[in-house]
Amino acid sequence: MDLLLKGSRAMATNFPKDYPTTRTWRCDTCGGPVSIEDGYVVWNSRGKDRDFRIIHQSRCDDESLDSSMALSDLVGVEGIASLLSLLTAGPLMSAAEGASLDKDICLSDFADLFRRLHVPNYERARQYFKDVRVQENVIGMNERAMYMPAKLAEIAAIGETPEDD
């Protein structure tokens, strides 16, 4: 079983040993590499637009965002469970009569964060999504196919290849 160090204890990811996981992210504040050890996810806790960001802890904090979690708490199987709690309180939570268990959140923003944390090659590819060559490459693809890890690796390779003059 693959282990990620989480503070002073180890967190089991429960993924196969050869499962390709993201190990480095791009800081949404400074653009530098963020590791599992120094990364944080910050967001607004109110309103539909949560503005999720991956940042360096302390160094790139944004005081305008009022919620945060260590990046290490949002990866692996336990991380998936934590992320899902941002969408809904779930069936085990007893809600007051007439209250909704679902949270008012922009699903596109949530999906982008989830993919960044859990879909291999997404973080590497996402910086090239507006590249014309990438846009041409995904024309006609459905919303599932373009986010498959192999396709995302292809998108990253296209974006990383210098354009011909």
Under a CB-based contact definition with an 8 Å cutoff, are residues 124 and 96 in contact?
Answer: no
Q: Where are the alpha helices (DSSP H) in 31-143?
A: 76-84, 107-118, 122-126, 132-138
Instruction: Tell me the per-residue pLDDT of 111-152, one tens digit each, with 9 for 90 and over.
Output: 999 999 999 999 999 999 999 999 999 999 999 999 999 999
Which of 131, 135, 138 has the alpha carbon at shortest distance from 162? 131
Q: Indicate if the pLDDT at residue 10 is higher than 70.
A: no
Q: Measuring CA to CA, how many Å separate 106 from each of 66, 102, 109, 135?
A: 17, 12, 6, 23
Token pair, residue 141, equals: 């693809």
Task: Count CA within 13 A, CB hemisphere, residue 14.
Answer: 7
Residue 11 has pLDDT above 50, yes or no: no
Exposed / middle / buried, residue 3 (Cβ in 10 Å: 0-12, 13-18, 19+) = exposed
Return the higher-pLDDT residue of 20 and 138.
138
pLDDT, tens digit (0-9, with 9 covering 90-100), for 57-111:
989 998 889 999 999 999 999 999 999 999 988 777 765 555 677 888 899 999 9
pLDDT at residue number 16:
58
Burial classification of residue 148, based on how many CB atoms lie within 10 Å of its CB (0-12 exposed, 13-18 middle, 19 or more buried): middle
Q: In this predicted structure, what is the pLDDT of residue 69?
A: 94
pTM here is 0.82
